[in-house]
Every structure is written in structure tokens, then in C-alpha cells.
Amino acid sequence: MDTPENSEQIDHPRRQFVGAAAMTIAAVGTSSLPNAFPAAAETDPNAIRPFRFNFPEEQLVDLRRRVKATRWPDKETVTDPSQGVQLATIQKLAQYWSTDYEWAKCEAKLKALPHFVTAIDGLDIHFIHVRSKHENALPMIITHGWPGSIIEQTKIIEPLTNPTVHGGSASDAFHLVIPSLPGYGFSGKPTAPGWNPVSIAKAWATLMQRLGYTKYVAQGGDWGNAVSEVMALQQPPGLLGIHTNMAATVPPDVSKALSAGGPPPAGLSADEKHAWDQLDDFYRHGLAYAQEMGNRPQTLYGVADSPVGLAAWMLDHDIRSYGMISRAFDGKTEGLSRDDVVDNVTLYWLTNTGISSARLYWDTTQISTGGGFFDVRGVTTPVAVSAFPDEIYAVPKSWAERAYPKLIYYNKLDKGGHFAAWEQPALFTAEMRAAFKTLRQPA
């Protein structure tokens, strides 16, 4: 796959310089999809086909067997999570997963949504597509990240597409397109290198065009932010603007100081110093997963063979998300429930995408120029930013204003973290309504 212009704008996942310091679906798979319009599919390579899935009970039985058969290591030698996912936390998850958890509930919720697939650049791209009943709804494509999936967005679909039943007005309505990233969930698994935020951004523009949307917006956090910002750089016809809940706004002097491992630049405001502290901690202590996937994703055989290995790998994304998840298994649900967490891990397990999803980091490393994931990219289209306090870093308004010359919306929230739509669906819904209000076309 060729690499379009703007490839220099995307960098090593998170921070390159810190590194120096069988999907089995019973009835259907992405290679043999049931098609309501087989004749059209045979003649039109761009056809959009309905997608259905079903996982056989044998897979779930095998999953529970594997969880119960886990060989446990010794307990960590510290009383905090500084050595990684704590034994007590992952054993509580495993106990729940192998006994009381019911995948059927998550499967029923997913099957209640309209799923589709279409081939773009030789790969089947899966997506959920929900159109609002309101005539002037604004089309929006939402991109998840790692270790997320389409499950992250399921709580916001109904309030965004049907606002009049959820505290909003018809003028707040959205049509939603929620794709699975290549190598994730129900999308196809690339068999050759080249799928990175630059190529994915082009694919998303193609998808929106195929769906007939001539004016739309894009949203994302984590990898979804990278994809949305590159879409803004590529400026495909019809893209009105983007929203991010994990913005790339770190100024050059701050980025340089972080890369050197030195003190922060002088003159930072309180919000900027807080963002510095969050980033400094993440770069020093939270990057191991990104470094491994960026350099040697194929080595992660353990996450393909062990459900508990996969779960632990996915839990250890960032310290505040880990803390929230750990508390959920202590009975102190806030943001995510035990089912939320296990639903997502189970989807990765059943689709066998632990390693195929990790390759996105490697593919992005191949077009890296050595900068940082959060460095300013030069986006000039309208941008809206929501700063959640427990994100990897809470974006200061001053940085957002400098990074995005057409900043149309900024809000600093009181709660919420990395998985904003999943953790705080009501707040996230309100943010989407407010963020894009000025970009809606008059009736």
C-alpha cells in the first residue's frame, strides 16, 4: 500500500525516543460474509454488505477452560501497581470471567445494531451504521483506539441518534458510522504492512463517500484521534471538522524537554504544569506496551494463547484507567463495570485480534520521523476539544488554542478518562452536541 502525503505528520505510537531510554466465527467471517445482495456484490467491488456474526458455544467453553487453567505467577513484591497489573486484580477478573460472566448479554446488544462490511484497498472494513430519524442529522464517523473496540461507543449510539428521547432536541441529532480499525474486532486482518493512520484516514473518507455523506464530521480518541487529525490534514471533500478527546497539542519546547528527560520549561501555567506532570509520568512509567507493540508485535504469542495474558496486557494501558478498572473488580464501579471490561477483552479473544491489533503500532512506527504522538500536527480545519481529567494528559486550553488555529470548542470536564464515551456516555453525548453545533448546516 502506498503512503499518501502527510505521512510525516504521524509518529511512533506515544513516543519513539522513550524507546531509546484464528478469528473463528461460526456462521460467518470476513472472508465469507452473508450478503443480502449477492449479485451486486459480485459485480461491484465497492458494495456495502450486511454483516452477521455468531460465536459457537465451544469457543466460550474453551475460553472458560483456559481461564481456569491459568498458571499464576508469584504476587508482586510491592503494595502498589508500580510492577504492573496486580495479582489480586487479575485473579478477581479471572474468577468473574470463568464463572459468572455472560457473553450472551454483550452479543445480544451488538446484534441489535446494524453491522456492515465493505472492501477498501483490498481489506474488509467492518462498521456499525445507525441513521437518525431526524432529517437534518449531522453524519459523524467515530474511531476507537487500543485497547478499545466498537464496544466503547455502544452507550452513545442511542442518545446521539435519538436525542429527543435523551434530553436533547432534533437539532442535536447525528447519523453515526462506527468502524472497527483494520486488524480489530470484525474488520479484516491486514496480511501485508501499510495500514496506519494515514491509510486508515483515506479509507474512512472513502467509506463516508460510499455511504453518500457529502458533509460530515469525525471524532476520536487514542488512535481515533490520530486518524481524525490525519483526516483533517488530508482534507477530504465533505469533512467539516473534527472532535478529539485525546488531542495532540504538546508545544515543541515541552516536547523537547520531555524527550530529554529534563525539567519542564519555565513559565508553565498551573494547567500546563499539570499536563507536563501527567505526560512525564506516562513517558517514564506507562509506555512499555506501546514500545513492545511498536517494535515486536509478533512476539506477543502469550496474548493469543492465554485469555488472562490478553486481559492483563489490555488492562495495563494507563495508570488512571487501570485504577478505575481495578476498583470495579473491588465493587466500586465508576465509569466502567466488570461487564464492560470483560466484554471488550472477550471480543478481542473471540476474534483473535490481540496481535493483529498490535501491528497498528508497528505499521505506524514505519512512517515515524522520531517525534511524539502528542506533538502538534498543524491541523487547520475546525477542531473541538474535550479535556477529560483522567486522560493520559488533560489538554490545557492554552495549548489547544495554539495547536488548532480554528478551535471552535473547548471544555475542561470534572470527570472521565481515556475511554470517555464508554466511561461517561452522558457527558460525552453533551460534548458532541455542543462541540459541533456551529458546524451544522441550516435546515
> Three-state SS for 378?
coil
What stretch of H or E contains 399? helix 397-403
Instruction: Give the distance, in angstroms, between the CA of residue 411 and the centroid of all CA atoms in the same chain.
Output: 21
Stretch 352-376: mean pLDDT, rounded?
Answer: 94
- Residue 321: per-residue pLDDT: 97
Q: For the chain, what is the mean pLDDT?
A: 91
- Retrieve residue 269's grid coordinates: 501555567
Residue 442's pLDDT band (cuts 50, 70, 90): low
Is residue 267 scored above 70 in pLDDT?
yes
Domain tally, the chain: 1
pLDDT in tens, 40-62: 455 688 999 999 999 999 999 99
Q: How many CB atoms lie within 10 A of CB 257?
A: 16
Is residue 422 scored above 70 in pLDDT?
yes
Whether 328 maps to a domain, the answer reads: yes
d(CA 191, CA 258): 36
Percent of the chain with pLDDT over 90: 86
pLDDT in tens, 107-159: 999 999 999 999 999 999 999 999 999 999 999 999 999 999 999 999 999 99
pLDDT in tens, 164-211: 999 999 999 999 999 999 999 999 999 999 999 999 999 999 999 999
d(CA 46, CA 121): 10
Is residue 238 scored above 70 in pLDDT?
yes
Residue 371's pLDDT band (cuts 50, 70, 90): confident
- CATH number, domain with residue 191: 3.40.50.1820
- Residue 247 sits at φ, ψ, to 5 deg, of -70, 155
Domain span at residue 32 reads: 7-439
> 172, 164, 183, 81: which is closest to 125 by C-alpha?
183
In order of 81, 156, 247, the CA distances from 390 in angstroms are: 17, 20, 13
In order of 55, 104, 342, the CA distances from 99 in angstroms are: 18, 14, 12
> Three-state SS for 252?
helix
- Residue 344: per-residue pLDDT: 98
pTM to 2 decimal places:
0.91
d(CA 265, CA 149): 37
Whether 2 maps to a domain, the answer reads: no
Q: HSE of 291 in the Cβ direction (CA atoms, 13 Å)?
A: 14
Q: Is 135 exposed, middle or buried (0-12, 13-18, 19+ CB in 10 A)?
A: exposed
Residue 7's pLDDT band (cuts 50, 70, 90): very low
d(CA 24, CA 345): 15
> Three-state SS for 261?
coil
- Residue 370: per-residue pLDDT: 79
pLDDT in tens, 299-347: 999 999 999 999 999 999 999 999 999 999 999 878 999 999 999 999 9
From first CA to last CA, the distance across the chain in angstroms is: 41
Three-point CA angle 437, 426, 209, nearest 5° = 50
Whether 297 maps to a domain, the answer reads: yes
> 296, 339, 290, 338: which is closest to 316 by C-alpha?
290
pLDDT in tens, 76-101: 999 999 999 999 999 999 999 999 99
- Residue 176: per-residue pLDDT: 98
The answer to whether the beta carbons of residues 23 and 355 sit under 8 Å apart is no
Our CA dihedral for 308, 338, 77, 146, rounded to 10 degrees, sits at 60
Maximum CA pair distance of the chain? Answer: 66
Our CA dihedral for 398, 404, 410, 416, rounded to 10 degrees, sits at -90
Whether 1 maps to a domain, the answer reads: no
- Residue 37: per-residue pLDDT: 35
